């Protein structure tokens, strides 16, 4: 598989703290990679540093084989779409206008057509004119997912795209991102739900204290030893007819 994104030995300092300390990550075309770890383990910082949105102290990143530092902002935008964890929107624009922002390189009419299609895919057909500040948090999150999908970029990076969504919307979100990988995109997501990660991702990268603690298929990356060392949990993955489930508990519970 062709590497759409590679990060090697990235170091990002935030104040006096090494938020990311020599971490490496790769994502290939057609692959859905999940990035897991406790709060504060460096997941978001790794993604933002690897996209050039945070200054790195050391390490390298490449998009589609090109050194990140040598790419213009426009070139980066064509190669990578990014959905941040923060879902705040300052202006009460219609959802169609927000989703169309994902395709600024297209003529306006075409961008709006792509945006309408993506809103339908995320279950918001008929919401095109509704202001995003008049929506629930979950609906607004789906508008922003539609904007990400509208980029049609070969790399899609989504930071906690399932956070705060109801179960059906969580499954829809991961189904859509899984579909983007199936069409040939490289997709990288951060998740806190271990079951969702195991069920949808081809590979999991587990972070702890700014470093990579595990990198492999779900059964390997969420082995009992990793769950204990990184998350302080007992248990492991259990296969069910609906897919793997993380059967975990706090020690002594």
Q: Does domain 3-249 have CATH number 3.40.50.300?
A: yes
Which alpha helices (DSSP H) does the chain contain, by range?
A: 43-50, 73-79, 95-100, 108-121, 137-150, 167-182, 194-200, 218-221, 224-226
User: What percent of the chain stands above pLDDT 70?
Assistant: 99
Q: Does residue 231 carry a pLDDT above 80?
A: yes
Q: Tell me the torsion sign for CA atoms 58, 62, 67, 69.
A: negative
How far, in Å, CA of 109 to CA of 95, rounded? 15
CB contact at 8 A, 68 and 62:
yes
pLDDT at 88: 82
Ordered by start, the domain boundaries in the chain are: 3-249
Joined tokens for residue 222: 């969420």
Band (2; pLDDT cuts 50, 70, 90): low
How far, in Å, CA of 232 to CA of 253, rounded? 12
Q: What is the pLDDT of residues 90-135, one digit of tens each?
A: 889 999 999 999 999 999 999 999 999 999 999 999 999 999 999 9
CB contact at 8 A, 159 and 191:
no
How far, in Å, CA of 253 to CA of 234, rounded? 9
Q: How would you list the strands of the sheet with 211-216, edge to edge? A: 80-83, 155-159, 186-190, 32-36, 203-208, 211-216
Phi, psi for 7 (deg, rounded to 5): -125, 130
Q: Please tell me the number of Cα atoms within 13 Å of 20 on its side-chain side.
A: 27
Q: What is the pTM of this model?
A: 0.96
Residue-averaged pLDDT of the chain:
95
Residue with more model confidence, 41 or 16: 41
How far, in Å, CA of 239 to CA of 104, rounded? 43
pLDDT average, residue stretch 71-75 = 93
Among residues 180, 185, 98, 175, which one has the least CA distance to residue 134? 98
Band (1; pLDDT cuts 50, 70, 90): low
How far, in Å, CA of 183 to CA of 92, rounded? 33
pLDDT at 3: 77
* Count of C-beta atoms within a 10 Å radius of residue 159: 19
- Per-residue buried b or exposed e for 216-225, using 16+ beta carbons within 10 Å of the residue's own CB: eebeebbbee
pLDDT average, residue stretch 134-141 = 94
């Amino acid at each position: 598989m062709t590497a759409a994104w590679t990060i090697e030995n990235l170091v990002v300092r935030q104040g006096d703290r090494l938020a990311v300390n020599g971490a490496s990550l790769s994502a290939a075309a057609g692959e859905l990679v999940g990035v897991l770890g406790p709060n504060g383990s460096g997941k978001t910082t790794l993604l933002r540093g690897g996209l050039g949105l945070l200054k790195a102290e050391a390490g390298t990143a490449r998009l589609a084989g090109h050194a990140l530092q040598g790419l213009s902002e426009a070139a980066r935008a064509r190669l990578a779409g990014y959905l941040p964890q923060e879902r705040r929107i300052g202006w009460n624009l219609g959802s169609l206008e927000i989703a169309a922002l994902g395709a600024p390189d297209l003529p306006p009419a075409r961008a709006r057509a792509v945006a309408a299609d993506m809103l339908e895919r995320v279950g918001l057909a008929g919401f095109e004119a509704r202001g995003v500040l008049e929506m629930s948090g979950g609906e607004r999150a789906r508008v922003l997912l539609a904007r990400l999908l509208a980029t049609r970029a070969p790399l899609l990076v989504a930071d906690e795209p399932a956070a705060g969504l109801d179960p059906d919307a969580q499954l829809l979100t991961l189904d859509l991102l899984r579909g983007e990988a199936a069409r040939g995109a490289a997709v990288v997501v951060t998740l806190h739900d271990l079951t969702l990660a195991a069920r949808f991702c081809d590979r999991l990268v587990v972070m702890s204290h700014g470093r990579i603690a595990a990198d492999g298929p779900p059964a390997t990356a969420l082995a009992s030893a990793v769950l204990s060392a990184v998350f302080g949990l007992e248990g492991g993955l259990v296969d069910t007819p609906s897919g793997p489930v993380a059967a975990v508990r706090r020690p002594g519970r």
